[in-house]
Amino acid sequence: MRHQHPAAHGSLPVQDLCRQRRLFSCSSLRVMAMKIPATIALVAALACPTAAQEARGTKFGIAFKPIDAVLSKTRKRVEITGAPSQDEPRYYRLRIKVANPGNEDWSIVIRASTGQVLSAFDQKASACETEAGCWTRRLNSKLPAVQLSTQSANVRAEVVDGLYMPSQVASPFYSPMPGNTNELLAGLSFPNTNEKVAMQTLADDLGMLIGSGPGIDGKLANWCCSGTRLTSDLFMTNWHCGGADSTLAASFWQGGICHSAIVDMSWDSDDEGREYACQKVEFSSEDLDVAIIRLTPLADGPALSRPLLLPKLNEEPLTAGESVTVLHHPACVAKSVTRGCSVLNPNVATWTGPEDAASITEFTHNCTTESGSSGGPVFASDGRIIGLHHLGVGPMRMEPGNFAVNVAAILAEIKRTNNPLYTELMAATSDP
Angle formed at CA 69 by CA 65 and CA 74, multiple of 5 degrees:
170
**Most confidently predicted of 4-13, 50-59, 314-323:** 314-323
Is the Cβ–Cβ distance between 376 and 206 less than 8 Å? yes
Query: What is the distance between the alpha carbons of residues 378 and 226, in angstroms, rounded to a whole number?
Result: 11
Query: What is the distance between the alpha carbons of residues 107 and 127, in angstroms, rounded to a whole number?
Result: 14
C-beta atoms surrounding 337 within 10 Å? 22
Segment 294-336, tens digit of pLDDT? 999 888 778 888 777 788 999 999 999 999 999 999 888 889 9
Average pLDDT, the chain: 79
pLDDT for the residue numbered 90 = 73
| Residue 98, strand partner residues | 157
pLDDT for the residue numbered 58 = 56
Is the Cβ–Cβ distance between 320 and 346 less than 8 Å? yes
pLDDT for the residue numbered 353 = 75
Q: What is the DSSP string of 64-96?
A: E--SS-EE-SS--EEE-------SS-SEEEEEE
Is the Cβ–Cβ distance between 351 and 362 less than 8 Å? yes
pLDDT for the residue numbered 428 = 78
pLDDT at 62 over 80: no
Query: What is the distance between the alpha carbons of residues 250 and 300, in angstroms, rounded to a whole number?
Result: 32
3-state secondary structure of 173: coil
Whole-Å CA distances, 368 to 127, 128, 338: 39, 40, 7
- What 8-state DSSP symbol labels residue 288? T
- More confident site: 297 or 29: 297
pLDDT for the residue numbered 44 = 41
Query: What is the distance between the alpha carbons of residues 300 and 135, in angstroms, rounded to a whole number?
Result: 9
**Phi and psi torsions of 44, nearest 5°:** -65, -45
Query: What is the distance between the alpha carbons of residues 260 and 240, in angstroms, rounded to a whole number?
Result: 16
The runs of H, that is alpha helices, within 166-209 are 193-204
Least confident piece of the model among 3-7, 99-103, 145-149, 257-261: 3-7
Is the Cβ–Cβ distance between 311 and 385 less than 8 Å? yes
What is the percent of the chain where pLDDT is above 90? Answer: 39
Instruction: Print the SS3 string covering 349-386.
Output: ECCCCCCCHHHEEEEEECCCEECCCCCCEEEECCCEEE
**Phi and psi torsions of 153, nearest 5°:** -75, -10
Model-level pTM? Answer: 0.77
pLDDT for the residue numbered 170 = 58
**Most confidently predicted of 5-14, 118-127, 286-295:** 286-295
Least confident piece of the model among 21-25, 194-198, 347-351: 21-25
- Amino acid, res. 133: G
Domain ranges of the chain: 14-48, 59-165
CA dihedral 249, 215, 164, 270 (to 10 degrees): 10
Is the Cβ–Cβ distance between 210 and 261 less than 8 Å? yes
The highest-level CATH class for domain 59-165 is: mainly beta
